[in-house]
Amino acid sequence: MTELLPKPRSVVAGSGEVRLTAHSQIYAGTAAEGVGHWLCTVLRQATGLPLREGRELDDTDGDGIGLQIDSELAPEEYRLVSDPTGVLIEGGSAAGVFWGAQALRQLLGPDAYRRAPIGRDRAWAVPYVTIEDSPRFRWRGLMLDVARHFMPKDGVLRYLDLMAAHKLNVFHFHLTDDQGWRLEIERYPKLTEIGSWRARTKFGHRASPLWEEKPHGGYYTQDDIREIVAYAAERHISVVPEIDIPGHSQAAIAAYPELGNTDVIDTTSLTVWDTWGISKNVLAPTDNALRFYEGVLEEVLDLFPADAGEFSSFVHIGGDECEKDQWRRSPTAQQRIEALGLADEDELQSWFIRHFDNWLTARGRRLIGWDEILQGGLAPGAAVSSWRGYQGGITAARAGHDVVMCPEQQVYLDHRQHDGADEPVPIGYVRTLEDVYRFEPVPPELTPEEARHVLGAQANVWTEVMEDPARVDYQTFPRLAAFAEVAWSSLPAPAERDFADFEHRMTAHYGRLDALGVAYRPPAGPRPWQRRPGVLGRPIDGPPPIV
């Protein structure tokens, strides 16, 4: 079982195997105890073996597992050696040991991903092998949109496990949008009392005539969030919350109408939006709105502490797709533009973003936003999610800002996977498994110095047309496996990548996904119950532009 994914830097196979038995022990050295507890838990569940915790590495007696730190390795680097003395995993930090433990789980076979043993006579063995491995990128992210369709807490925890199994380490948590506010804020209870529910939901693309005529919603309590953050930290995943401002804010305005442009429209008549697209109802550029969101962010900073992972100091503030029509018609907005000496409404949006950039920086945190936030300039520590293509990331890197590459045309997993008629609710360009595998996060236009600002890459899962977790699984997998290899492994140039080898390793990986209960898209196409006949999508023909 050496069909590993993501592909390691070096694999040297030996002859023989380490058999786990009722006498096997797991030893975790100093600073690796958390990984030892995690590994004991998942392997006891899957194998039914007691897997006691040994006191010394020598206690393994040739049939056990040792976990320890090697300070000469890079933080996320690991070395796994399976030989007649047992299995030893060494990492440059606990994170490195954890990624090595994920490789070990793959070596044990797909049934190692089950939550209970399926047969008493099953032999559990690790082939003799030496693996040396480390990630190409520090930021290996997945963005999950829970605002358009809510995913209950257990589903979020499950996705953290799926991320960990693929060596992904940043969970971008899209918590607010026009269609729902998903985070309890004690200071402002109406955000969830009113803003977390909508009366009905558009089914399919916004041009579809179909509606799901029942309320949809939900939110995470503050204790839910604390649990999610702790669960992620145990798996060496940083959680980056997103609170959208100043656009994508209709749910917040529905809960607190004074946040909107009250001198232009009757904001008290607004409800949580029930369709898709870009709402014209945006925050008013008032001191009241600034103070309100400062209050929100004070609680966000408490719920998402900066020391819970390498990238947990980041807070994502959206900053994208802010419609300016109401500001153009608003005397209040126009007075603010004049008082600040701004040129237009675009600079007013930049003022909004810079306010929270400075606010977060003063509290030791880092702002990250979609690439529209580049307009008007950023504080030195701010970072950019480049979504409209590569250009925003190129501009940011050249200006000295860190960048996460997540171009819509390449790694938006809501885009369709095939051009077949059976593809459910087809959105956007065709992005096959191979297309994602050939995604390159670093544009060739960047110099080596500029390229150092590319922290990594992220796949984004927008859920407008994903009405339940099974649809999320279908759109996300197996393409997330290809993305994970792009983000982790040092691959050749896109055209030179060995996709046939990746497909071969995927044959084993499908078994792991089956054991994990993932409702992925099969290579041959959607199963009958995965189709959505008659539900309108928005397919775009031809190859996506490289912009």
Give the active site residues.
177, 248, 321
Q: Which residues pair with 461 in a beta bridge?
A: 144
Residue located via tokens 């600034």: 290
47 with 54: CB under 8 angstroms? Answer: no
519 with 408: CB under 8 angstroms? Answer: no
Q: Which residues pair with 217 in a beta bridge?
A: 197
64 with 5: CB under 8 angstroms? Answer: no
401 with 452: CB under 8 angstroms? Answer: no
Q: Which residues pair with 457 in a beta bridge?
A: 140, 405
The CB-side HSE value for 488 (13 A sphere, CA atoms) comes to 28
If you ran DSSP here, which 8-state letter would residue 468 be given?
S
Burial 92-115 (b: 16+ CB within 10 A, else e): bbbbbbbbbbbbbbbbbbbbbbbe
E-strand stretches of 435-511? 454-461
**In this structure, what token pair is assigned to residue 153?**
């807490």
Burial class of residue 256 in the structure, from the number of CB atoms within 10 Å of its CB (0-12 exposed, 13-18 middle, 19+ buried): middle
**What is the spatial distance between Cα 162 and Cα 481, in angstroms, rounded to a whole number?**
10
529 dihedral zone (left: phi>0; alpha: psi -120 to 50; beta): alpha
119-126: which pairs have CB atoms within 8 A and are 24 or more residues apart? 120/48, 122/47, 123/19, 124/19, 124/20, 124/47, 124/49, 125/17, 125/18, 125/19, 125/20, 126/17, 126/18, 126/20, 126/82, 126/87
Q: Which residues pair with 76 in a beta bridge?
A: none
Annotate 243-281 with three-state secondary structure.
EEECCCCHHHHHHCHHHCCCCCCCHHHCCCCCCCCCCCC
Q: Are strands 180-181 and 314-318 parallel, antiparallel or unpaired?
A: unpaired
